[in-house]
Amino acid sequence: MIQIRNLIKAFGSRVVLRGVDLTINEGDFVTLMGANGAGKTTLLHIVATLSKPTGGSVAISGYNTADSATELRRFIGLVSHKTLLYDDLTADQNLRFYARLYDVPHPSARIELLLNQVGLWGRQHDPVRTYSRGMQQRLAIARAMLHNPPLLLLDEPDTGLDQHAADRLNELLTAVGADQRTILMTTHNLERGLSLGNRVVILAKGKIAYEAQRQDVTVVEVRERYFQYVTAN
């Protein structure tokens, strides 16, 4: 699904990604971890076609993101630090706006289904500004899933959520059918990341420092590796 080869990203003289190589197979749920400044969000933004690499390449289903960004965005759902929602619009209005952008067929039925799945049906006519942070994040997940993308990118989706809302993340992703998709998720919550993903990758100093299949490692082993690289970073 995703092939990243010798990926380099620099902002002026500051090099953030230093030759990243990573292959993500269809149906994988990859948890990407690393210290602040390790390059996780930059990597996701490049995969999401929101940023161009300085060097190297990213291909999604064989299509290079540099050449096919507009077409590929229809196959990507993104949940980032920002919800990408309009505060003065209602949940229903937000989703209808994005449904038009993505040419979603039968938008009313799709919107009702997703709002029920994320537990917001009944609040669909309330302005987003009246929602709690957890509710806004749930709506952002509905937005990302609206066009039924095969690839889901989650950039620290639990940021700003209280414990109860964060604990609902697993069941929420299951409810919207995330188990049928390829997912790349960044997180600082090691336990949650390991409980959700089937692969774990640690990014340090702009490179892949460690990766393993979840079934082959324990939480203790990954924690030791994580803090080793975070400290070194």
Distances (CA, A) of 4 to 77, 118, 152: 18, 32, 16
What is the number of domains present in the chain? 1
For 195, the domain range is 2-232
Q: What is the pLDDT along the chain (233 residues), one digit of tens a residue?
A: 899 999 999 999 999 999 999 999 999 999 999 988 889 999 999 999 999 999 999 999 999 998 899 889 999 999 988 899 999 999 999 999 999 999 999 999 999 999 998 889 999 999 999 999 889 989 999 999 999 999 999 998 877 777 777 777 777 777 676 677 899 999 888 888 888 889 999 999 899 999 999 999 998 998 898 888 877 65
The CATH number of residue 177's host domain is: 3.40.50.300
